Copies of this chain bind each other. A is one copy, B any other.
Amino acid sequence: MLTNKDLEFMQIALKEAKSAAKIGEIPVGAVIVKNNKIISKAFNKRETKKNALAHAEILAINKACKKLKSWRLLGCTIYITLEPCIMCAGAILNSKIERIIYGALSEKKSVFSSLKFLNKDLIPNNLEIIPNVYEKECKFLIQKFFKSLR
């Protein structure tokens, strides 16, 4: 179930995504929240960090584990402007994050859109997944970014 608070946090994820675009990175932002408090936020820095791991979600999970001093991010929600890739979806599963709220659908098939129905046993029952939140805004950011590159 989506709340007004969820929409607020998604707007913060959108701000993160805009920060990525400003430095020439594909605009994806992520925010991790526990008990209505922001634990971490990050934006995609793959080119800046020259690192295949530096997606917004991975950077946010890394900070969150450090902050909570645990590899288990129990009770946490992650807000992402774009549907996670396989790596990030796997990282979210590994970290035991309990809610995933995301904006635009990925053009590549992600674990959530493909595995969700193909391999139900990979997705825990208690994981809540809410797609398409601020979908248009998230998608517009990415389209604008790629248009500006041409």
Interface, chain A (partner B; CB < 8 A): 46-47, 49-55, 58, 61-62, 65-66, 69-73, 85-91, 93-96, 108-109, 111, 114-115, 118-119, 121-122
Within 8 Å CB of A51, what residues of B? 62, 65-66, 71
Within 8 Å CB of A69, what residues of B? 50
Interface of A is mostly: helix
Q: Are A109 and B122 in contact (CB under 8 A)?
A: yes
Q: Are A122 and B86 in contact (CB under 8 A)?
A: yes
The contact of A87 among B52, B87, B118, B119, by CB within 8 Å, is B87
Given contacts A114-B122, A118-B118, A122-B114, A65 and B90 within 8 Å (CB-CB): no
Closest 8 CB pairs of A and B: A87-B90, A86-B90, A52-B95, A52-B71, A51-B65, A87-B91, A52-B94, A118-B118
The oligomer's copy count stands at: 2
Within 8 Å CB of A53, what residues of B? 53, 58, 61-62, 65, 91, 94-95
Q: For the complex, give the distance between the alpha carbons of A115 and B53 in Å.
A: 21
| A74 CB to nearest B CB, Å | 11
Across the two chains, which residue of chain B brings its CB closest to A72?
A: B52
